[in-house]
Structure 1
């Protein structure tokens, strides 16, 4: 077994006992340059690994990478062995993380959301399902929304969330007219 400092032993032991094998949060009082030096040494030794943080599940952050991503620290097989723990749990959590990443990168939604009847969303869908479709002005008039909200509803909710194929065409008398492709329903 390698020679570990008390701080390294504490970080690795805590991470090994967490179900997700996260090394974060670090022990109380360890921050700044001391935390960076300790973690950098453990990463160099192969005991910790930086992985993308799952912000939706509230994983604690180690650092932000500057490109809008955040990372957290996970104990590796070598880190588990360094504190005398069998790394089976690490392999299981790695498999779970990989499955979650594959699922997130897949464009196939797991649940298909449906709009509630009697809502403004349902009104907009009804307008766009008409053969003549609807312009942003008509949607704004019917719903009372601002034009940017109507466009956001079309691109964000209808296209991305509900997976409806919304087409648009410019008409001389009405401006840009949006329609839901009936085959996407």
Structure 2
């Protein structure tokens, strides 16, 4: 079934296909407020566009209505392989021990300064790798870190 498109709808879809990889980001200057909403609603109702985050994205039916082939799905990049002999792997092994490890111990093992170790703990391990790091104060007064 082909959906008849108005000239405005065709212009919006054509611009999205040519310039923004199918994202609806441009509208004719004469299309304001309620008229813009009605055009989007009509395109959505005919399943030619769909919400994608804060934007609208052309659907496969939208590509078909414009006489264009639907682009291939982008493959999700594989998770990077972590080397077993890297300093990061050493630190993760130290943090995996039941008693954990201290910042001075990590400094000795890696040759890093203390501020670099703290940055690795908060930036790479917590934010990028999503590890939960638990900090406990030892009897000696040092702080011991381990993976929960």
TM-score (norm 2): 0.58
Q: Indicate yes or no: 2:66 matched with 1:79.
A: no
Q: Indicate yes or no: 2:39 matched with 1:38.
A: yes
Q: Indicate yes or no: 2:143 matched with 1:176.
A: yes
Q: What SS class does the counterpart of residue 137 from structure 2 fall into?
A: strand
Task: Look up the match of 1:26.
Answer: 26
Structure 1 residue 43: Cα displacement? 0.3
Whether the 8 Å contact between 2:49 and 2:59 is mirrored in structure 1 is yes
Task: Look up the match of 2:79.
Answer: 109
CA distance in 2, matches of 1:132, 1:80: 55
Unaligned runs of 5+ in 2: 108-112
Distance 1:19 1:110, change over 3 A: farther
Distance 1:76 1:144, change over 3 A: closer
Q: Which structure shows the higher helix fraction?
A: 1
TM-score (norm 1): 0.49
Structural mapping, 1:87-126, within 5 Å? 88-90=69-71, 92=72, 95-96=73-74, 99-100=75-76, 103=77, 109-110=79-80, 112=82
User: Which structure would you say has the larger Rg?
Assistant: 2
Distance 1:20 1:110, change over 3 A: farther
Q: What SS class does the counterpart of residue 15 from structure 2 fall into?
A: helix
Unaligned runs of 5+ in 1: 52-69, 118-124, 181-185
| 1:26-78 per-position Cα deviation (integer Å, ceiling 9, x unaligned) | 22423433222211111011111112xxxxxxxxxxxxxxxxxx332222232
CA RMSD of aligned residues (A): 4.2
Q: Count how many residue pairs are aligned between Structure 1 and Structure 2.
A: 130
